[in-house]
Amino acid sequence: MTENQLREQICRMAKSMFDRGLTGGSSGNISARTEDGGLLVSPTGSTFGALDPANLSRFDANGVQIGGHKPTKEMNLHQAFYDTRSSAGAVVHLQSCHSVARSLLKDVDPDNFLPPLTAYSIMRLGKVKLLPYYRPGDPAMGDAVRGLAGKRSAVMLAAHGPVVAAKDVEAAVYAIEELEETAKLSMLVRGYDVNLLTPEQISDVVTHFNVEWED
């Protein structure tokens, strides 16, 4: 994929998420690796509904900005994933409603944020780590991700939003959509006596699809 194609893809998929209400206003940010090892990043204050391919922040392989507008204030958060996960080709961060709602519940397991309701969240996300609340733009968010030593591809920032790293833009978008849909499902069935996937079923999915699943 050429850089121009990647720029177009970032903006097209960001608009798709915006149009479906996964993030609103000027919330959310997205980044992707370029072929030369640099990054394309959504600018600060921009909306997923109208990203301009020409205005994406452009960084070289040394992390020096060489073009575009000023990047998102969550740049350190994105960089933390790239620094700790060599497989990361894209990072998406949203302020999606149902995942944020679930992060506010007091009985959520911080080491495994999503309950095992379907195989798909396990396949696309592995275990999602719930991190504490940080002020938006706080560099400590990046430090918290680095503290995971690359063991998680997805985290949930309490009272803020999910962040997912994947091999490319498409995979990252599909994964974060799965995170939000699973969080939504968990809120819909909350208070009901539901049949969660059993440990044996989870193990089968993890083994069959070669999922990163830290104990």
Residues serving a catalytic function are 120
Helix axes 169-188, 3-19, angle to 10 degrees: 10
Q: Which two tokens stand for residue 155?
A: 């985290």
Q: What is the DSSP letter of 72?
A: P
Distance, in Å, from the CA atom of 166 to the CA atom of 175, rounded to the nearest integer, reads: 8
Distance, in Å, from the CA atom of 20 to the CA atom of 78, rounded to the nearest integer, reads: 23
Distance, in Å, from the CA atom of 110 to the CA atom of 178, rounded to the nearest integer, reads: 18
Contact 172, 164 (CB under 8 A): yes
Phi and psi angles of residue 176, each rounded to the nearest 5 degrees, phi first: -70, -30
Distance, in Å, from the CA atom of 25 to the CA atom of 66, rounded to the nearest integer, reads: 27
Distance, in Å, from the CA atom of 126 to the CA atom of 65, rounded to the nearest integer, reads: 32
Strands 154-157 and 161-166 come out as antiparallel
Q: Which two tokens stand for residue 173?
A: 């978008």
Distance, in Å, from the CA atom of 121 to the CA atom of 3, rounded to the nearest integer, reads: 30
